[in-house]
Amino acid sequence: MSKPIQWLSDLNDAKKKAQEEHKYVLLDFFNPL
């Protein structure tokens, strides 16, 4: 079984990770209902 998606806590963390690891930032706007 694969490890679930590792979501980051905020946009700044995502930008930092994207810069360091040559990745792309994804924002998933969601509604829990």
- Nearest approach, Cβ of 29 to another protein (angstroms)? 4
Handedness of CA 16, 9, 12, 28 (dihedral sign): positive
- Nearest approach, Cβ of 33 to another protein (angstroms)? 9
DSSP-assigned letter for residue 14: H
What mask, x for binding another protein by CB under 8 A, covers residues 1 to 20?
-xxxxxxxxxx-xxx-xxx-
Contacting residues for 18 by C-beta, under 8 A, at least 6 apart: 24, 25
Binding interface with another protein (CB under 8 A): 2-11, 13-15, 17-19, 21, 23-32
